[in-house]
Amino acid sequence: MNLVLIAALLSLVPIGLLLLFLYRTLSVRQQGEISFDQCLFPPEKYRVMGRLLHESDFRFLATQPGFSPQIGRRFRTQRRRIFRGYLRNLRKDFNSMSLAVQALIVHAGEDRGDLAVALMRQRLVFMLGMLAIEARLLLHAVGVGAVDVGDMVESFQAMQAQIRVLLVPAQAAPVIV
């Protein structure tokens, strides 16, 4: 009986961690004033992420004199650490842009339900992409598979496009004094 209870509790741990991750990713906290100009980041900033874990670098390193498996493991570990730093920044930038879009939708002169739905969809796609990348990073740590960030950068660019769409009517609208 105790074995069944322990197995049941252990199976709930990953589910709880997943729910915590979903909550933290989907909940966007207000962080003071939102500067819309600061929410438009160059997407090239994150393109380097795809190169950080590219297998060709690891193969090249393995052909160099003095290479040892220990050096290869350390190199992979350092690259994953740098990659995770970029991932944290991407998440923060995406959350900032998400807040900006949310504020623009709330303060829009007309009802923008379509953009609210698009924002929710983008958040969900981004969150699922982050989960997939985290899973691939775990596999990469044991030497299986590669990590592709193309979808995440596209989601990031889609969010920026939404901000631009929302900014155009806001800047073109006359100011009533």
Output phi, psi for 127, to 5 deg. Answer: -65, -45
pLDDT of residue 78: 92
Query: What tokens does 149 get?
Result: 């960030």
The answer to whether residue 72 scores a pLDDT higher than 60 is: yes
pLDDT of residue 30: 47
The answer to whether residue 92 scores a pLDDT higher than 80 is: yes
CA–CA–CA angle 27, 94, 150 (5° rounding): 125
Instruction: Render pLDDT for 148-173 as a digit per residue (tens, 0 to 9).
Output: 777 777 777 777 776 676 666 544 44
> Do 95 and 28 meet the contact criterion of CB atoms below 8 Å apart?
yes
pLDDT of residue 26: 64
What average pLDDT does range 92-110 have in this prediction? Answer: 80
Instruction: Render pLDDT for 29-58 as a digit per residue (tens, 0 to 9).
Output: 544 445 555 556 676 777 788 788 888 888
**DSSP state letters, 70-90:** HHHHHHHHHHHHHHHHHHHHH
State the CB neighbour count (10 A cutoff) for residue 35. 10
**Separation CA 61–CA 140 (nearest Å):** 17
